[in-house]
Chain A
Amino acid sequence: MIKESGAAHTQRNLSPGGLNQEIVSASVTPEGTPANSPAMAPTQQESAVAPPPSTAALDRWMARYQQADPEAPAALIGALSPALLRFFRTQDLMSREQADDLLQETWLRIHRVRHTYRPGQPVLPWVYAIARRVRVDGYRRTRRIRAHEIATDMLPEPRPRFENRNSLPAFETLVAVLPEAQREVVTMLKAAGLSLEEVARATSCTVGAVKQKASRAYERLRRLLQEETNELP
């Protein structure tokens, strides 16, 4: 069963927000001009990104990493770090420095337990299960520190608002309104590009539970977006 699911991932590209990117391209008119708002078009910076490696390539790099291939760490770090960094930043809206720390800690832990990856199995759930644990440990550390800080830091953040129809809140701000479990699932699905089964593996849940969380999160986000749009003059 594990091998089957691993094979299902082999042709998928590790494109964060790949699905949405597809919608973006679908929204472009035959003349090449965006059919909807300017926000729909990818930025110049984004379009310059090299195509990410497929999950099959990652599986191979991971196997080579276990065999001490000196090129493997660089390949894996380059391919996975941006999505991991976004995962950390999105989860608790943490600062860049905190997210960088967690990223480094994740790679150190990956290095320490690299023997627990079984060749032939999908790498992404393995990596995100470790990243998730690092995040939980980091959260506990920060919570202990915050408990001693003054209460002004605990004032609620204002709800994300967008100024006009073409300006949407950033992904991080948008998902920040979700409960932690739903936010984690949406981030893994959208920012990291994992499938439902991979998210289930990474979070030690069943696929059904992940599906339910995603469904509730989408419903809530859609309602929020609708409310914000209605409130606009």
Chain B
Amino acid sequence: MNCRDVERSLIEHEKSGAARLPPQVQKHVLTCNRCAEFMRALNPSVMADAPTPEILRRLEDTLTTGLRPVRPLAPACYFYAAFAVIFILIVAAGVYRLGASGISVMSPLQSIAILCALSASAGLLVYSLVHQMAPGSQHRISSTVLPAAVIGLLAVLMAGLFQFQPERDFWGTGLACLRAGGPFALLAAAPFWLLLRRGAGLSPRVTGAAAGLLTGLVTTSAQEIYCPIVDVSHILTWHLGVAVLGASIGLAAGFAGETAGRRLKPAQR
């Protein structure tokens, strides 16, 4: 065993959380001055930074005063189900209200690809949001990168699936499409917010962007099923654009919430 192996075993040991280092590592450290010094350097003394008894007492008093029982956050599966039900119900309401002429215009490959991509995107966003609600949850996908990645991948997929077909009235048809689908995003925003407000939301900006994008995707999904225009510029601007707008509004709301929270804190003290 050499010094590099000690570093590697140290990381493996931290991964396992075991109480003792492997015997061969202990043996090496006893004979190697450099490794012994390295281990000593990484040994923080505990008592040097102990908080003062007054601070501890003050904290205890603050936390104990008016202490009331709280209901723990429901298991993650309930939130997954709630988000999924809301998403599906509102998209279904959109299809019921507007029709499904978009599906009849698209080829089977286009329909399957776009609906699968939208479902997968919504699923990933729900997964990320549910994990953001409880601090210290296990993250397999970076919640910061996810909204941008979802928008980027959907844009690439849409650009690849649909072709450019010049429209006679780009703005007119686009605004009509937006007016038809937009209310469904507003309809989804309220229940999503009600679900999310139970969580901690440690990073309101990231949570806001993901929630806004999910809300926007409700409209995008309804529009994809309803809208008979398969021009790529129309789809990117008026369908995916709603999702981007939702993410931007969510990000701005999170930013405003964070700033308001920061201003409020000194006043509370």
Q: In the assembled complex, which residues on chain A have CB atoms less than 8 Å from the CB atom of B47?
A: 43, 45-46, 49, 82
Q: When the two chains form the complex, which single residue of A66, A105, A118 contacts B70, counting CB atoms closer than 8 Å?
A: A66
Cα–Cα, bound, A111→B268 (Å) = 15
Q: Are A100 and B40 in contact (CB under 8 A)?
A: no
A107 in contact with B139 given A118-B72, A225-B37, A225-B41 (CB within 8 Å)? no
Q: Are A200 and B43 in contact (CB under 8 A)?
A: no
Instruction: Tell me how far the C-beta of A189 lies from the nearest C-beta in chain B, rounded to whole angstroms.
Output: 6
Q: When the two chains form the complex, which single residue of B19, B59, B140 contacts A107, counting CB atoms closer than 8 Å?
A: B59
Q: Are B46 and A115 in contact (CB under 8 A)?
A: no
Number of interface residues of B (CB under 8 A): 67
Q: In the assembled complex, which residues on chain A have CB atoms less than 8 Å from the CB atom of B51?
A: 81-82, 85, 100, 103
Instruction: Tell me how far the C-beta of B6 lies from the nearest C-beta in chain A, rounded to whole angstroms.
Output: 9
Does B30 make an interface contact (CB < 8 A)? Answer: yes
Q: Are A21 and B67 in contact (CB under 8 A)?
A: no
A171 in contact with B14 given A111-B63, A116-B135 (CB within 8 Å)? no
Cα–Cα, bound, A68→B63 (Å) = 10
Chain B proximity mask over A203-229: 1 for CB below 8 Å, otherwise 0: 011110001001100110110011001
Number of interface residues of A (CB under 8 A): 100
Q: Are B21 and A17 in contact (CB under 8 A)?
A: no
**What is the chain B residue whose CB lies nearest that of A121?**
B136
Q: When the two chains form the complex, which single residue of A104, A196, A222 contacts B55, counting CB atoms closer than 8 Å?
A: A104
**What is the chain B residue whose CB lies nearest that of A211?**
B11
A103 in contact with B29 given A20-B42, A108-B62 (CB within 8 Å)? no
Does B190 make an interface contact (CB < 8 A)? Answer: no
A122 in contact with B136 given A20-B42, A24-B43 (CB within 8 Å)? yes
Instruction: Tell me how far the C-beta of B259 lies from the nearest C-beta in chain A, rounded to whole angstroms.
Output: 10
Q: In the assembled complex, which residues on chain A have CB atoms less than 8 Å from the CB atom of B265?
A: 105
Q: When the two chains form the complex, which single residue of B19, B45, B72, B202 contacts A117, counting CB atoms closer than 8 Å?
A: B72
Q: Are B139 and A206 in contact (CB under 8 A)?
A: yes
Q: When the two chains form the complex, which single residue of A11, A73, A221 contacts B42, counting CB atoms closer than 8 Å?
A: A221
Chain B proximity mask over A50-81: 1 for CB below 8 Å, otherwise 0: 00000000000000001110100110011001
Does B3 make an interface contact (CB < 8 A)? Answer: yes
Q: Can you sample 28 A-B contacts with CB below 8 Å?
A: A11-B19, A16-B44, A17-B43, A17-B44, A20-B42, A22-B19, A22-B21, A22-B26, A23-B21, A23-B39, A43-B45, A68-B68, A77-B63, A78-B56, A81-B56, A82-B51, A113-B135, A116-B133, A116-B135, A118-B134, A130-B135, A133-B135, A133-B202, A206-B139, A206-B140, A222-B3, A226-B34, A229-B37
Closest 9 CB pairs of A and B: A125-B136, A20-B43, A126-B136, A129-B135, A195-B17, A73-B63, A171-B44, A115-B70, A133-B202
A residues lining the B interface (CB < 8 Å): 1-2, 5, 8-9, 11-13, 16-24, 26-27, 35-37, 39-40, 43, 45-46, 49, 66-68, 70, 73-74, 77-78, 81-82, 85-86, 89-90, 99-100, 103-105, 107-108, 111, 113-119, 121-122, 124-130, 133, 137, 140-141, 168-169, 171-172, 174, 186, 189-191, 195-198, 200-202, 204-207, 211, 214-215, 218-219, 221-222, 225-226, 229
